[in-house]
A and B are shown apart, each in its own frame.
Chain A
Amino acid sequence: MTNFSRRDFLNLARDGFIYLSGALALGGLMRFLGYDSNPAPKTEFEIGAADDFPLGSRTLLTEIPAMLIHSPDGFVALSLICTHLGCTLEEDSRGFSCPCHNSAFDAEGGVTRGPAAKPLRRLRVEVNQRRGVVVHTE
């Protein structure tokens, strides 16, 4: 601290002000660029009356996308979004496969071939008196 003069202090302070201003500006820039104006995506899909999906049926719901399975245990919807990086799966003879990086899943959603690591999400299905079958993605 021996050669630290008043001028050096003022210079340091001045530089500090500029750097702080820069930090505030950068923070502001990040907030500015971080704004998302897009509306939240739909999380509920009313797909029809329960009678339209009889026991044993497997129905492809392209909007969600999901596969609605009516088994003796009830309704379940398998999400057809690949758990690797999000492409929409295609049905094949052994279940589902992904056109992007070649992941494959069996008919119940389990992984049969990577690079996907997690099985397909099971979406909640509600059978409502008034609204019919409702698939929830959240």
Chain B
Amino acid sequence: MRRLLFLSSFLLLIFFLFIWWVDFRQPAPVALIPSLSGEVEYCLTCHADLPEISASHPVQIFGCVSCHGGERLALNADLAHSSMRGGSNPSDLSVVAESCGGGNCHSGSEADDRHHIQRVTSSIQSTYAGAIANIRFTFGAQVDLTPVFGMTSISDNETKTGIKSLAAFHPADEENPFIQKFGAECLTCHVNAAPREGEAYARQTGCAACHSVGEHQMTTAIPYTQCNACHNRGNYDLRSMTFVERTDRPTSRLADYYQPIAQFTRCEYTLDCVDCHTRDEVMGDGDIHANQKSIQYVQCKTCHGTLDELPRTKTLTDPNDIVFRMSFLNPVMDLKLGDTVIVTEQGEPLWNTRQLPDGTFEMVGKATKQYFTFKPVMGTACEQKPDEQESRYCHECHAVEK
């Protein structure tokens, strides 16, 4: 009895010392009070070596939790990460409204041109409405090309395209085996799908599919390599409903960019996709579309004009013009009041262009930062016809032989 008492007192002391040691060993928590929320977060205790995600989202202002969710006080990894939105990608479309959204962030009003989440979720790259409608029509599941299904259900009450809503596409519910195969083989390229296996296809989902260029990096200077994860990877064969990967191993920007079967001008492979294709084209204009042609409209003449027309331009007189806001995020061109920029047929300003005093134009690549000058077609020896403005006509003379 006395021995036991002695022993257990001794053990108690040992364990109390052990408790103090355990507590002493714990790493000091690193607090961050982001100015946006005012609520302390301790993510940096473990993640201090992560790079700042972008110059426009500094961690001192945003913190981590406002975008990622998570348990801000927890110092245990499992608990801290348990309520994160979208795993490591809070821009996945299933959670994007809470992560990137909010009136002060990226889901504002259409009038302000801040309704980015609404436009992306209804865009053709997200809904796949046209592809799905086309396949179903081709194989007899619907009587015309009017879109019925999209990758997720979505509705648009203020539609300007006449398409008010889409239901969620369930390939398993389809009767035709070709449509089922389409569902099994061909749906890995919409914005919110997990990509195919393979380094060439590697990308994130949601907003990060385009805007995330590396681990924990966001940018608006999107290089063509981002687009390449889905575009120009091969071709599909409708009869066997399979995707045929391109067989070449690209070795240069020219070869990497487009597939061997295509013809392109030097302009098209020197610039990045985002230098021509506008925000409305890629992210959507807020309405549900079912055909690439109805949303993709930029052509050579948008910048170069035609023999009869100069490219449309706009002179900047309002300091609150959206052009300054767009240029601010990636100021490749130092735009000032009084400058004239090119404007597309739909009124979208090309903020990386500027008219020079002699009527020609200058341009800086958004991702490459390369400087270019170019002249309008009017007054040159170009042999184009006014009604043949598709790029294939320009390629007849200007395509680069690969």
What is A's interface to B at a CB cutoff of 8 Å? 7, 10-11, 13-14, 17-18, 20-21, 24-25, 28, 39
Question: A44 to nearest B CB, angstroms?
Answer: 13
User: If A28-B19, A39-B40 touch, does A17 touch B33 (CB 8 Å cutoff)?
Assistant: no
* Pairwise interchain contact A18-B17, C-beta atoms closer than 8 A: no
B17: chain A residues within 8 A (beta carbon): 24
| Whole-angstrom CA separation of A28 from B13 in the bound complex | 13
Chain B hits for A17, CB < 8 A: 6, 9-10, 12-13
Contact B16 A24 (CB under 8 A): yes
In the complex the two chains form, what is the Cα distance from A14 to B19 in whole Å? 20
| Residues of A with C-beta under 8 A to B385 | none
Q: Which residue of A lies closest to B5 (CB)?
A: A14
The reply to whether A20 and B2 contact each other, CB–CB distance below 8 Å, is no
CA distance in complex: A90, B4 (Å): 68
Residues in B21-59 with C-beta less than 8 Å from chain A: 33, 40
B330 CB → nearest A CB, Å: 25
Q: Could you tell me the distance in whole angstroms from the C-beta of B173 to the nearest C-beta in chain A?
A: 53
A21 lies within 8 A of B6 (CB): no
- Determine whether the beta carbon of A20 is less than 8 Å from that of B20: no
A-B contact pairs, 26 of them (CB 8 A): A7-B2, A11-B2, A13-B6, A13-B10, A14-B5, A14-B6, A14-B9, A14-B10, A17-B6, A17-B9, A17-B10, A17-B12, A18-B9, A18-B12, A18-B13, A20-B13, A20-B16, A21-B9, A21-B13, A21-B16, A24-B16, A24-B17, A24-B19, A24-B20, A28-B20, A39-B33
Please name the residue on chain B nearest to A15 by beta carbon.
B9
How many A-B pairs have beta carbons closer than 8 Å: the answer is 35
Interface size of B in residues (CB-CB distance below 8 Å): 13
B379: shortest Cβ distance to chain A, in Å?
Answer: 49
**Which residues from chain B contact A13 at a C-beta distance below 8 Å?**
6, 10
Residue of chain B at shortest CB distance from A23: B16
How many angstroms from the CA of A1 to the CA of B13 in the assembled complex? 27
Name the residue of chain A whose CB is nearest to the CB of B10: A17
Contact yes or no, B9 A10, CB < 8 A: no
Q: How far does the Cβ of B3 sit from chain A's closest Cβ, in whole Å?
A: 8
Counting chain A CB atoms within 10 Å of each CB, the highest count among B2, B9, B19, B20 belongs to B9
- How many angstroms from the CA of A87 to the CA of B402 in the assembled complex? 83
How far apart sit A39 and B40, CA to CA, in the bound complex (Å)? 8
Q: Top 9 A-B pairs ranked by shortest CB distance?
A: A17-B9, A24-B16, A17-B13, A14-B6, A14-B9, A21-B13, A21-B16, A21-B12, A18-B9
Q: In the complex, A39→B35 CA distance in Å?
A: 13
Which residues of chain A come closer than 8 Å to B13, judged between CB atoms? 17-18, 20-21, 24
Q: Shortest Cβ distance from A45 into chain B, in angstroms?
A: 15
Verify B16–A25 contact, CB threshold 8 A.
yes
| A69–chain B nearest beta-carbon distance, Å | 30
Which residues 187-223 in B have Cβ within 8 Å of A in the complex?
A: none
Question: Which residue on A lies nearest to B31, using beta carbons?
Answer: A39
